[in-house]
């Protein structure tokens, strides 16, 4: 039985809800977007967790208010009925009937129109669907807000375990920081990049490893102890390469001794799990765990050293030995702080410390060149292999002999960064930033053969990029 | 308040009227429909077409079927206003001389103003008061015209030399303007048959009375139209104005003057009459579409650029319709 009054009530209610949703969706999306921007800036990182949670609820509260306001807005019932008429192709009966209903007393036209309307179904709801734009806005707003919630709660969880008083550890800030920064946490980015390169090479996807520490954890560690951070990163790299079963997995000094490898892997996983629990629980890593981490990392590092030396001994004379020597130097720089004094005494190293990957652009304008004829006797012209577009050959600071220092093999454009000691000060040793190196190599669109050659070179001289 | 009986009787009367006209006029459904709509709205109709298409016959048939008084005025350049509205003449009664008003041909129910654009503007304007006010003023006396009153004017689009285009104010007083087209082959065969066989064209006997017309007008005025449709009509009319934001580019470029508010009234009135003739209990978009063109085509004035580039008012109107949303 058709009833205009019922229809008007239902149509009005539906339209008011839609108005409310429309307004709420818009406000939710706008405010959530604003908060996303705010959360990615340093302003909110100083706020307390309670304020953060409170701020997270602000968009929803405003959206709820907007919904209420939207449902109370005046609706144009004439236009609405005409819209339904158009949608249902009723011959504008509903809007006309409403017009007639406003007249006083019985009306022959009202009777005739109602008679026509009674005869056909009126699926008017199909003509009053939420607009696509509103639906999309609403879904996007909810997803964005949910994501914001995850970010906030994640920060809150970290913040509750942080040793920093009254604030969240700056996860977002640390993620935003320039990987070329002189902060120790850039090691984390380097390790991540290295891991991703390894995964890419092995053709495996980045599997979720329960023992793998997230960026926030590592960032938290480095605040306390730079070398411990490096050790943890090494353990993590080791676990990743082992679990990924890549060729690199054999480069940890275990050779064919699988039982030792498995034992080390289990130990590393156990240690990382333990550290993760400790960080979540109290934010402090137990001294015995620290010792064990360092010991295991040192063991792995020495394994790498042996493997690298063995590998470079196969290279042409001079280069391999020098590279192995320097690799050992660089490796020990991270974990044992060895040879730091020698490097810190050199003035030229200060220039190299300032060298940035961005200087590769500058180097392109340099006129330095290294012909094959410039190479000394018995030296392999490594640089000439880089004859790809964008590379400018440059004369090395020294010659490749058994006595060549690591710094002499560095030219402008090679992304190096200093090695840090516990107190956060640079000790003078240098290491290659694998992330930047990877970026440079990819930017040049080199062939895989050339990439491998560059990789071999840097592994040789820097002990696997560390 | 309209009753069921009044509604049914009005419908029946106009059904009979349409049948009677169709028995004489072959084809021209749009013209017949337009004439009935004009009659129902109490308006005036402007017909444009070359001679010999049956315009005069249509008007005579309509008047005959209604049993109303019909008069025909052939407009010529030397026609004077007094020839239309009448004049005071000196008469003598019982030895006493006095001026007596002698009504002109405009004092009829259905007036055919044939080739109205051939008379001077002064004479054309003599019809203005009759068309709009339904009164005629001679000297100091104003005489009311008898309802129903309707002027059906015809224009000849050819032989334009020596013609006087209708003043804008007068054109605006025509409810609709319809173009009388040439008949199709079948229609022409039927026209020839009816005119050459038997007793030829016989005008119909009256099938509806003056009261029927007036009652039907009352019914038509009550046909409901939604407020949304009224707004739609208003938007349509405003879109013909170049200065309106919602007007399409063709209007902004080529239109000098858009349709007047009288156009909106004409569209709604005519749409109601159309719905009534279609047997619908309310006005639909389809009804508006049916009368929209005829109600606007004579109310829009192109600018010099539009004339120079050969833009037609019909194209402007069609574009406005396409670009104006109903809801």
What's residue A127's pLDDT? 81
Residue B270's CATH number: 1.10.8.80
Instruction: Count residue pairs from A and B with Cβ separation < 8 A.
Output: 79
User: Does a structural domain hold residue B97?
Assistant: no
Pair (B59, B191) in one structural domain:
yes
Number of structural domains, chain B?
2
**A15 lies within 8 A of chain B by CB:** no
Pair (B305, B277) in one structural domain:
yes
Q: Which of A270-279, A324-333, B81-90, B230-239 has the lowest mean pLDDT?
A: A324-333
User: Does a structural domain hold residue B163?
Assistant: yes
What's residue B233's pLDDT? 93
Instruction: Give the predicted TM-score (pTM) of the model.
Output: 0.57
What's residue A5's pLDDT? 80
Chain B nearest-CA distance from A80, in A, is 8
What's residue B291's pLDDT? 92
Structure tokens, A88: 């249902």
**A127 lies within 8 A of chain B by CB:** no
Residue A8: list chain B partners with CB under 8 A: none
User: Does a structural domain hold residue B40?
Assistant: yes
Instruction: Check CB contact under 8 Å for B282 and A98.
Output: no
Pair (B55, B73) in one structural domain:
yes
Pair (B147, B213) in one structural domain:
yes
Over 70: is that where the pLDDT of A319 sits? no
Of all residues in chain A, the percent with pLDDT exceeding 70 is 46
CA distance B131 to A36: 70
User: Does a structural domain hold residue B89?
Assistant: no
Which of B2, B225, B232 is nearest residue A96 as measured by Cβ atoms?
B225
Pair (B153, B111) in one structural domain:
yes
Pair (B191, B240) in one structural domain:
no
User: Does a structural domain hold residue B101?
Assistant: no
Pair (B188, B245) in one structural domain:
no
Comparing B73 with A173, which gets the higher pLDDT?
A: B73
Residue B49's CATH number: 3.40.50.300
Mutate to test the interface with A, among B279, B281, B284 (most CBs of A within 10 A): B281
Comparing A349 with A407, which gets the higher pLDDT?
A: A407
Over 80: is that where the pLDDT of A146 sits? yes
For B229, name the nearest residue in chain A, comparing CA atoms only: A82
Residue B327: list chain A partners with CB under 8 A: 79, 82-83, 85-86
Instruction: Check CB contact under 8 Å for A91 and B231.
Output: no
**A109 lies within 8 A of chain B by CB:** yes
Pair (B123, B143) in one structural domain:
yes
CA distances from A94 to A244, A389, A436, A464, B285 (A): 68, 73, 69, 78, 13
What range defines the domain where residue B327 resides? 224-327
User: Does a structural domain hold residue B276?
Assistant: yes
What's residue A44's pLDDT? 63
Which of A83, A99, A116 is nearest residue B224 as measured by Cβ atoms?
A99
Over 50: is that where the pLDDT of A197 sits? no
Over 70: is that where the pLDDT of A355 sits? no
Pair (B258, B229) in one structural domain:
yes
Pair (B228, B123) in one structural domain:
no
Q: Which of A10-14, A37-41, B54-58, B145-149 has the lowest mean pLDDT?
A: A37-41
Q: Is the ipTM of this complex over 0.85?
A: no
User: Does a structural domain hold residue B110?
Assistant: yes
Pair (B251, B310) in one structural domain:
yes
Q: Sign (positive/negative) of CA torsion A400, A406, A407, A413? A: positive
User: Does a structural domain hold residue B291?
Assistant: yes
Pair (B125, B269) in one structural domain:
no
Residues 75-94 on A with a CB inside 8 Å of B are 78-79, 81-83, 85-86, 91-94
A186-205 mean pLDDT: 43
């Amino acid at each position: 039985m058709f009833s205009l009054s019922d229809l008007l009530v239902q149509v009005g209610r539906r339209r008011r809800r839609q108005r409310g949703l429309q307004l709420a969706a818009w406000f939710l999306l706008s405010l959530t977007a604003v908060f996303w921007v705010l959360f990615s800036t340093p302003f909110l990182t100083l706020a307390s967790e309670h304020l953060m949670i409170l701020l997270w609820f602000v968009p929803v509260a405003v959206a709820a208010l907007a919904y209420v306001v939207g449902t109370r807005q005046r609706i144009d019932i004439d236009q609405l009925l005409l819209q339904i008429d158009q949608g249902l192709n009723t011959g504008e009966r509903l809007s006309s009937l409403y017009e007639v209903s406003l007249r006083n007393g019985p009306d022959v036209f009202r009777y005739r129109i109602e008679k026509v309307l009674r005869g056909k179904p009126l699926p008017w709801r199909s003509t009053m669907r939420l607009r696509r734009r509103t639906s999309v806005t609403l879904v996007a707003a909810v997803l964005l807000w949910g994501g914001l919630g995850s970010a906030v709660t994640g920060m809150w969880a970290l913040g509750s375990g942080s040793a920093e008083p009254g604030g969240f550890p700056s996860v977002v800030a640390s993620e935003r920081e320039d990987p070329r920064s002189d902060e120790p946490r850039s090691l984390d980015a380097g390790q991540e990049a290295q891991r991703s390169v390894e995964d890419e090479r092995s053709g495996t996807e980045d599997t979720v490893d329960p023992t793998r520490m997230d960026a926030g954890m590592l960032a938290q560690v480095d605040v306390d102890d730079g070398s411990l951070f490096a050790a943890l990163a090494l353990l993590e790299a080791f676990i990743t390469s082992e679990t990924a079963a890549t060729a690199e997995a054999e480069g940890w000094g275990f050779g064919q001794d699988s039982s030792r490898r498995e034992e080390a892997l289990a130990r590393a996983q156990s240690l990382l799990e333990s550290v993760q629990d400790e960080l979540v629980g109290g934010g402090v890593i137990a001294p015995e765990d620290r010792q064990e981490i360092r010991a295991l990392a040192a063991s792995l590092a020495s394994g790498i050293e042996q493997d690298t030396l063995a590998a470079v001994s196969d290279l042409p004379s001079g280069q391999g030995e020098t590279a192995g020597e320097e690799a050992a130097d660089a490796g020990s720089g991270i974990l044992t702080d060895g040879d730091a004094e020698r490097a810190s005494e050199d003035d030229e190293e200060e220039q190299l410390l300032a060298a940035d990957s961005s200087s590769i652009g500058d180097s392109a304008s340099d006129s330095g060149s290294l012909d094959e004829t410039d190479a000394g006797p018995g030296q392999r012209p490594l640089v000439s292999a880089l004859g790809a577009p964008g590379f400018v050959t440059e004369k090395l600071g020294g010659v490749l002999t058994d006595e060549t220092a690591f710094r002499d093999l560095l030219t402008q454009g090679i992304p190096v960064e200093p090695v840090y000691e516990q107190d956060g000060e640079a000790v003078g040793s240098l290491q290659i930033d694998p992330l930047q190196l990877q970026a440079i190599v990819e930017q040049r669109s080199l062939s895989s053969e050339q990439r491998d050659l560059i990789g071999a070179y840097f592994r040789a001289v820097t002990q696997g990029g560390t | 308040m309209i009753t069921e009986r009044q509604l049914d009787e009005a419908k029946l009367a106009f059904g009979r009227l349409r049948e009677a006209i169709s028995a004489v006029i072959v084809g021209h459904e749009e013209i017949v429909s337009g004439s009935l709509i004009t009659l129902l709205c109490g308006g005036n109709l402007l017909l444009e077409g070359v001679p010999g298409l049956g315009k005069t016959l249509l008007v005579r048939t309509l008047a005959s079927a209604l049993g109303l008084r019909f008069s025909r005025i052939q407009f010529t350049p030397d026609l004077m206003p007094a020839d239309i509205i009448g004049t005071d003449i000196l008469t003598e009664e019982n030895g006493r001389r006095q001026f007596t008003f002698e009504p002109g041909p405009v004092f009829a129910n259905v007036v055919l103003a044939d080739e109205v654009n051939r008379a001077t503007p002064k004479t054309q304007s003599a019809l203005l008061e009759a068309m709009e006010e339904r009164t005629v003023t001679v000297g100091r006396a104003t005489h009311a015209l008898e309802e129903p009153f309707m002027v059906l004017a015809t224009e000849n689009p050819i032989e334009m030399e020596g013609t006087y285009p209708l003043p804008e104010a007068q054109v605006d007083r025509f409810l609709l303007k319809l173009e009388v087209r040439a008949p199709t082959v079948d229609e022409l065969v039927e026209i020839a048959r009816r005119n050459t066989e038997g007793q030829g064209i016989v005008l119909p006997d009256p099938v509806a009375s003056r009261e029927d017309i007036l009652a039907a007008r009352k019914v038509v005025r009550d046909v409901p139209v939604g407020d949304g449709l009224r707004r739609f009509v208003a938007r349509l009319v405003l879109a013909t104005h170049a200065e309106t934001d919602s007007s399409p580019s063709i209007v902004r470029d080529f239109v000098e003057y858009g349709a007047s508010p009288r156009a909106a009234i004409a569209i709604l009135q005519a749409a109601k009459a159309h719905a009534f003739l279609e047997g619908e209990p309310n006005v639909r978009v389809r009804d508006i579409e049916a009368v929209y063109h005829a109600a606007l085509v004579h109310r829009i004035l192109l600018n010099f650029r539009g004339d120079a580039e050969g833009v037609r008012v019909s194209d402007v109107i069609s574009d406005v319709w396409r670009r104006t949303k109903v809801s």
